[in-house]
């Protein structure tokens, strides 16, 4: 759902005429944020709504997801990303090979190292919003709204610079579907590092709280 709707919206916006950059960011940010919120509402009680390997890493490091579930989650996230991306390609192939299939790209004035740092920071903020939602928000709609709106704001902030992936499979699927592999490693390294740091930070603060338990964590 995330890769079908998110990059699918990017592809649709790339074909639209007369849309400003900011308007495009608003549309794309809303598509991603709303999809993440919807997935949390639909799957949160069933699976924790794991649709991002970087966030799964964060919660595994924090002790909120068992280590034995890490590889199964990553495997199915990868499968979902590929299915979503190639479905987008099937839908938009009629418009020609030049159509943007939602592959993440760095702005011309952003170096790969800076891009990786921005993706790290964005993923860290997104992961921490999930932790905060699990501890402070007591209803699923509120949790979904907090995490979805956080993603929306991050996309507005970073969209012009890195396209604000924050999710390795969100970048990998469209990259393979479109054949645009330039700087793909930025979108693999950055989010995983951001998730790792967030997991370590949350684990540290959990220990500082004298081992008090927390509720089920919803991922994104």
Q: Comparing 12-21, 102-111, 118-127, 162-171, which segment has the lowest mean pLDDT?
A: 12-21
Give the integer Cα–Cα distance in Å for 31 and 102: 12
Per residue in 28-73, pLDDT (tens digit) is 999 999 999 999 999 988 888 899 999 999 999 998 899 999 999 9
What predicted TM-score, i.e. pTM, was given to this entire model? 0.90
| Spatial distance between the Cα atoms of 116 and 110, rounded to a whole number of angstroms | 10
Structural domains in the chain plus CATH codes: 2-208 (1.20.1080.10)
């Amino acid at each position: 759902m995330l890769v079908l709707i998110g990059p699918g919206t990017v592809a649709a916006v790339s074909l639209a005429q007369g849309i400003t950059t900011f308007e495009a960011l608003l549309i794309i940010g809303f598509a991603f944020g709303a999809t993440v919120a919807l997935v949390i509402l639909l799957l949160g009680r069933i699976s924790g709504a794991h649709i991002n390997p970087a966030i799964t890493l964060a919660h595994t490091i924090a002790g909120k997801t068992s280590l034995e579930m890490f590889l199964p989650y990553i495997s199915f996230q990868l499968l979902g990303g590929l299915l979503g991306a190639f479905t987008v390609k099937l839908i938009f192939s009629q418009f020609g090979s030049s159509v943007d299939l939602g592959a993440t790209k760095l702005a011309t004035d952003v170096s790969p190292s800076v891009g990786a740092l921005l993706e790290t920071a964005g993923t860290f903020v997104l992961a921490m919003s999930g932790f905060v939602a699990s501890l402070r928000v007591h209803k699923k709609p509120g949790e979904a709204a907090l995490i979805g709106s956080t993603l929306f704001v991050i996309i507005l902030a970073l969209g012009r610079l890195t396209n604000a992936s924050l999710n390795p499979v969100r970048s990998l699927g469209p990259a393979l579907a479109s054949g645009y592999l330039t700087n793909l490693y930025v979108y693999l390294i950055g989010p995983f590092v951001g998730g790792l740091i967030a997991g370590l930070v949350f684990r540290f603060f959990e220990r500082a709280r004298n081992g008090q338990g927390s509720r089920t964590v919803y991922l994104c």
